[in-house]
């Protein structure tokens, strides 16, 4: 079962990436992004893609330019996540055959992202949009649009976001912060997947 949860490994190093990625996958999270403002992120993405790319979705976050997209593609990444709605990034991502999840907050940004081919929408920071905001925006989005809440979401409020109609989550500091061991990340990931499964039961 592939859950719509993206683990955000901001600050991970290339030496840590594969053990931590393995712990996440073992716990049931098989979508992993390494933000490009991490130490040597392309090496981490390449290592993760080589180790797990055949059964996990590996890619980059904090992707701001079309050149960033090309760099990630050259490393074997398949997922591009951004904090903003940049049509150049979305277009380059789709041209490279990768999945695009741009950051949005407003209906205007949502429809612009979808118009340019986004595969899903990253509501960021989701605590500013709120569950009421997501519910209102979702009412006008095309049926089946993937919506991911990122920023201020976790096991304690999965059920609230589920009730508002969200389809997935991006989890950053709730699953990884620099210095955590693979075992510690795995334990956090297990708690996250258990709470997710309960909210979606």
Query: Could you give the residue numbers annotated as active site?
Result: 33, 122
What is d(CA 19, CA 118) in angstroms, rounded to the nearest whole number?
30
CB 93 within 8 A of CB 100: yes
Structure tokens at 39: 């130490």
Name every residue whose Cβ is closer than 8 Å to that of residue 168 and which is 6 or more positions away in sequence: 3, 4, 5, 6, 120, 146, 147, 148, 149
104: phi then psi, degrees, rounded to nearest 5: -140, 160
CB 111 within 8 A of CB 119: no
Contacts 24+ apart (CB under 8 A), 144-147: 145/110, 145/114, 145/120, 145/121, 146/4, 146/101, 146/119, 146/120, 146/121, 147/120, 147/121, 147/123
């Amino acid at each position: 079962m592939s859950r719509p949860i993206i683990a955000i490994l901001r600050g991970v190093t290339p030496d840590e990436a594969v053990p931590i990625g393995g712990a996440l996958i073992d716990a049931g999270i098989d979508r992993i992004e390494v933000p490009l403002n991490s130490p040597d992120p392309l090496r981490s993405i390449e290592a993760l893609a080589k180790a797990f790319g055949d059964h996990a979705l590996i890619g980059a976050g904090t992707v701001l330019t079309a050149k960033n997209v090309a760099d990630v593609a050259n490393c074997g990444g398949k997922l591009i996540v951004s904090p903003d709605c940049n049509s150049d990034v979305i277009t380059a991502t789709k041209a490279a055959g990768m999945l695009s999840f741009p950051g949005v907050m407003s209906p205007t940004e949502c429809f612009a992202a979808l118009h340019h081919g986004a595969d899903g929408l990253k509501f960021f920071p989701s605590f500013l949009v709120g569950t009421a905001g997501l519910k209102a925006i979702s009412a006008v989005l095309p049926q089946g649009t993937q919506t991911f809440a990122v920023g201020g979401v976790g096991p304690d409020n999965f059920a609230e976001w589920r009730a508002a109609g969200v389809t997935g989550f991006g989890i950053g500091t709730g699953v990884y912060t620099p210095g955590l061991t693979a075992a510690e990340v795995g334990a956090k990931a297990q708690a996250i997947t258990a709470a997710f499964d309960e909210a979606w039961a």
